[in-house]
């Protein structure tokens, strides 16, 4: 559960920048399933994000159809992230480590409504 919530935090930022058209928001269960593998890295317990996490980010990005999807993912990721010990210094390294272009800094307190 902790790894799902942390991973969702990063994905919120990542998917927030992807723009597509559509109406349905992505449910947190989908975000959780694709973001579960990165808690160790985001808390500083692992040297790098797992390939499973990076793959999950790519899969989640492909499901984004609208700005509302990105906002929904962001909100899912933020739920519980602070209580999991997620650290900005590790979180901000995920886009580069997973070879993903986000286009803005990734932090625990990213505003999901922008």
Q: Residue 77's domain spans which residues?
A: 26-98
Residue 72 counted as domain residue: yes
Q: What is the pLDDT of residue 4?
A: 52
* Neighbour-count burial for 60-74, b at 16+ CB within 10 Å, e otherwise: bbebbbbbebbbbbb
For 26, residues 6+ apart whose C-beta sits below 8 A from its C-beta are 60, 63, 64, 69, 72, 73, 76
Whether 56 has a pLDDT exceeding 50, the answer reads yes
Residue 46 is part of a domain; what is its CATH number?
Answer: 1.10.110
State pTM to two decimals.
0.66
Residue 107 counted as domain residue: no
pLDDT tier at 44, thresholds 50, 70, 90: confident
Count: domains in the chain: 1
Whether 85 has a pLDDT exceeding 80, the answer reads no
Whether 36 has a pLDDT exceeding 60, the answer reads yes
Residue 20 counted as domain residue: no
Residue 42 counted as domain residue: yes
Residue 112 counted as domain residue: no
Whether 20 has a pLDDT exceeding 60, the answer reads no
């Amino acid at each position: 559960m902790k790894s799902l919530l942390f991973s969702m935090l990063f994905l919120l930022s990542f998917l927030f920048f992807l723009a597509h058209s559509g109406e349905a928001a992505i449910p947190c269960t989908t975000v959780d399933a694709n973001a579960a593998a990165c808690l160790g890295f985001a808390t500083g317990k692992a040297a790098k994000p797992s390939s499973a996490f990076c793959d999950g980010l790519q899969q989640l990005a492909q499901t984004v159809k609208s700005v509302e999807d990105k906002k929904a993912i962001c909100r899912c990721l933020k739920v519980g992230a602070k209580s999991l010990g997620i650290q900005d210094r590790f979180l901000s390294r995920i886009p580069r480590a997973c070879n993903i272009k986000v286009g803005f800094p990734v932090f625990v307190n990213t505003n999901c409504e922008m």
